[in-house]
């Protein structure tokens, strides 16, 4: 029988495109205003990938950033999971493209689709492989190229989304540290609330009509908002309970960056001060599966999150899905060993 290990995040990395799309820019594109966007979402600007920039390019950049911090190379990786709803193509997986570019010759590789919950879904899967002793090092990347599927004539959605990638290297850590619990869930009755209609077997590429709404991301904002507020609370309660913790034990909440009103609701319910909640959606908007790992990497890089801190990571997304984890931070980034 294989020995079980405690599993944690050894290092994180991120990549954000250079182009910045501000609210002032959007005012010239659709009937909206900076005041309207900030009041309803908290977003001031977002990053936009180049027209010729695929998701794999951003994922590789974030992955290299994380590998360097961990003191590892692609050849050390046993597993690559790419969480995305905007892959380079349906197949091969974006993970296989990333594997080749990183020189991760021995790594198994696959994509995972759970929308904004994707990074935590991927982390939970990788944790099982490492915990059981099957693999030692795993790369999990949340990457999104949402500008490619956003309708910039639809003011209800185009103000929300941005592009980027966040990566994490997972591996064995000291007992009692790392991931303490997970909660994953889905409610398929909400599948129509957040979707991209075209491109699959229901509306295959050969049947796609130029200009069709099915070519763009669709979201029923009210339905997703109500779902998000509810599951942010229940998922957080679940992972705390499974880890034997209470809300008073939380040092940092790292939530999915979708809407500040949703984050504020969770913050007030948990009784957390603003300095205990990682928020960057004002600068990046909603980056779907990339939002949690990018926020985590920023907080770690800035020295906010330190060895031994108790974190709750929680997100929600299309599916509809949700995911959360409680963890005790343990980093082995170079210079911190």
Q: Please give the torsion angle defined by the CA atoms of residues 257, 260, 264 and 267, in that order, rounded to the nearest 10 degrees.
A: 20
Distances (CA, A) of 134 to 21, 78, 184, 186: 43, 9, 22, 27
Taking the alpha carbons of 118, 300, 59, 220 in that order, is the dihedral positive or negative? positive
Catalytic, 280? Answer no
Which residues have CB under 8 Å from 35's CB, separation 6+? none
Provide the token pair at 265: 């609701």
Which residue of the set 23, 65, 158, 256 is catalytic?
Answer: 256
Burial class (CB in 10 A: 0-12, 13-18, 19+), 275: exposed
* Overall size of the chain counted in residues: 337
Catalytic, 145? Answer no
**Rounded to an integer, what distance in angstroms lies between the CA atom of residue 42 and that of residue 80?**
33
Which residue of the set 116, 145, 158, 259 is catalytic?
Answer: 116
HSE at residue 42, side-chain half, CA atoms within 13 A, is 15
Question: Residues 290, 59: contact at Cβ < 8 Å?
Answer: no
Catalytic, 286? Answer yes
Bridge partners of residue 317, in order along the sequence: 321
**Rounded to an integer, what distance in angstroms lies between the CA atom of residue 150 and that of residue 263?**
23
Residue 320 preceded by cis peptide, ω within 30: yes
Question: Known catalytic residues?
Answer: 116, 256, 286
């Amino acid at each position: 029988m294989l020995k079980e290990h405690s599993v944690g995040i050894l290092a994180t990395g991120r990549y954000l495109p250079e182009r910045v799309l501000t609210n002032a820019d959007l005012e010239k594109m659709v009937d909206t205003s900076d005041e309207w966007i900030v009041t309803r979402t908290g977003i001031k600007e977002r990053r936009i990938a180049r027209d010729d920039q695929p998701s794999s390019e951003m994922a590789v950049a974030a992955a290299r950033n994380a590998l360097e911090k961990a003191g590892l190379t692609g050849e050390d990786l046993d597993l690559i999971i790419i969480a995305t709803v905007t892959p380079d193509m349906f197949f091969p997986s974006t993970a296989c493209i990333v594997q080749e570019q990183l020189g991760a010759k021995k790594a198994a590789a696959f994509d995972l689709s759970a929308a904004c919950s994707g990074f935590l879904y991927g982390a939970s899967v990788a944790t099982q492989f490492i915990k059981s002793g099957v693999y030692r090092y795993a790369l999990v990347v949340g990457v999104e190229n949402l500008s490619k599927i956003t309708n910039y004539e639809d003011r209800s959605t185009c103000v929300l989304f941005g592009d980027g990638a966040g990566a994490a290297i997972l591996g064995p850590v000291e007992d009692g540290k790392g991931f303490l619990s997970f909660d994953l869930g889905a409610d398929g009755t909400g599948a129509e609330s957040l979707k991209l209609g075209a491109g699959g077997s229901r509306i295959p590429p050969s049947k796609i009509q130029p200009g069709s709404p099915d070519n763009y991301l669709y979201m029923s904002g009210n339905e997703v908002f109500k779902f998000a507020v509810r599951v942010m609370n229940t998922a957080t309660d679940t992972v705390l309970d499974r880890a034997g913790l209470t809300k008073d034990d939380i040092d940092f909440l790292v939530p999915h960056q979708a809407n500040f009103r949703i984050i504020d609701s969770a913050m007030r319910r948990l009784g957390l001060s603003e300095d205990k909640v990682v928020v960057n959606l004002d600068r990046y908007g909603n980056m779907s599966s990339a939002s949690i790992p990018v926020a985590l990497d920023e907080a770690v890089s800035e020295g906010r999150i330190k060895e031994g801190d108790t974190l709750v990571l929680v997100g929600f997304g299309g599916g509809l899905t949700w995911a959360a984890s409680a963890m005790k931070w343990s980093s082995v980034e170079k210079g911190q060993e």
